[in-house]
Structure 1
């Protein structure tokens, strides 16, 4: 009878063994409506292209208006990513810089400059600015203006967790960027699966900041080592296509993924144990009251 090949060099050869804790699927922060920021970026060319056919004054103002719209589109796009990351987390601080709000202000300023080109004076440029900023806010909304899930939680602990998670996300982003140099979609998907396991631990620690001490090694040392290994492997594999190095790298990711999943399971188990103890104490107190 034919048997499906599943050796260590096959694309699916490094799957975790049966019974191994599997990471919870974590949704990657994907902003909604990115096409709108692209349209905003493209609208800048309505000022940039005609500027070169005008006199020097109008040319400079047209370039300024187009540049302001480009900057507005970039800030707005960054604000969309920040908002998506905010929405996917249980605990999150509001963005330090309200990028979408600044984008609205820059859009209004760009239209005001464009209005001065068409209609010298103050009234119409001011109206263009107000309409432009208002339409921007209607299209993209405001940035998150308050912290989420911080009530009753020690601010110092949440700050430490936020910093640790931010550093962990930087390591994952560096891994993702590095593996692109290998030019292998299966390896890219493998790194994404490892990132999902790491983010599962992130969400667990965010849910209970007291777990940070137990998880710090996983959020810093292990992820930093995975990042460094990915960078070295990607450079080596891009040049040599070394199958043994690939197998070793995938085995490393599997070991780390299993470790992260086990740590997440352990932290969740400890949280359940603490809850059971708390419930038991409350029940005893109720019995004494009666």
Structure 2
């Protein structure tokens, strides 16, 4: 039986993994210089160009991590600002790499090398910007931010585990039902992030049902799928139908609760206007 399409969340991150490719251009002339020094058996030039190469490679790698971190931050509705400012670190590292390459490797004057380092760093920040600094933790009420973040992280971790298990499930119908369930679970998580006030009630729902699916898929993949009888598979299909129905009800509950909150605010505002 053909394997169904792999699960991909509807609200997947859209950050650009190619961002920062321009930084790798610095590596091309340095790499050519290393090759040339090697052919000329110029050990000093080989070592210095090699150091410069790895400094700029470090810049590109650190910056890429910062760009990915920034993309996840912008994608998330509810999150804290990154703890480690990788983009800023990459900017300073770029200045240091530029200075070393100009002054030590290239033999340029100190002032000129320092000027090039400043220009490189300023240009980097103007083009790529700074790391996010503001937490996105609105609409909390009396809920702890750490509690919300831990709940979301726990649920997302279980979803990732289920996704890994699904790669080994060849039952097309079961795979499709799991895909639908995970998409709805992602939708519920997104709804909670937009309005975390329901997190205490939703947490029990998320952990119980998502954890239940994770345990089922884990047990399923631990067995040889050929040895699982038809009756057991039918029970699993029915179970996933029940889960699907529960997810729909939870989504409706969350949306109705938001509507109730809106009605309360409208009624309160009307009373204030009358008074």
Using structure 1 for the length normalisation, give the TM-score: 0.70
Are 1:209 and 2:196 counterparts?
Answer: yes
Over 3 Å counting, the alpha-carbon distance change for 1:43 and 1:164 in structure 2 is farther
State the aligned residue count: 265
Over 3 Å counting, the alpha-carbon distance change for 1:194 and 1:283 in structure 2 is same
1:170 aligned to 139, 154, 157, which one? 157
Are 1:30 and 2:10 counterparts?
Answer: no
Q: Which residue of 1 aligns with 2:78?
A: 91
Over 3 Å counting, the alpha-carbon distance change for 1:241 and 1:100 in structure 2 is farther
Q: Which residue of 2 aligns with 1:123?
A: 111
The C-alpha deviation readout for 1:231-287, integer Å capped at 9, x for no partner, is 5545657x8597968877666555444433321221221222233234334434554
Using structure 2 for the length normalisation, give the TM-score: 0.73
Over 3 Å counting, the alpha-carbon distance change for 1:133 and 1:209 in structure 2 is same
Using the TM superposition, name which of 67-76 and 246-255 deviates more.
246-255
Using the TM superposition, name which of 152-161 and 178-187 deviates more.
178-187
Contact 2:99-2:114 at 8 Å conserved across structures: yes
Give 5+ residue unaligned stretches, structure 1: 1-8, 13-24
Structure 1 residue 208, shift from structure 2 partner = 2.4
Question: How far apart, in 1, do the equivalents of 2:245 and 2:19 lie?
Answer: 40
2:99 aligned to 112, 123, 138, which one? 112
Using the TM superposition, name which of 46-55 and 193-202 deviates more.
46-55
Q: Residues 1-290 of structure 1: matches in 2 within 5 Å?
A: 26-32=10-16, 34-41=17-24, 43-44=26-27, 46-48=29-31, 50-51=33-34, 53=38, 55-115=42-102, 116-148=104-136, 150=138, 153-154=140-141, 157-180=144-167, 193-231=180-218, 233-234=220-221, 255-284=242-271, 286-287=273-274, 289=275
Contact 1:181-1:235 at 8 Å conserved across structures: no
Contact 1:98-1:143 at 8 Å conserved across structures: yes
Kindly report the root-mean-square deviation, in angstroms, between the aligned alpha carbons of the 2 structures: 3.9
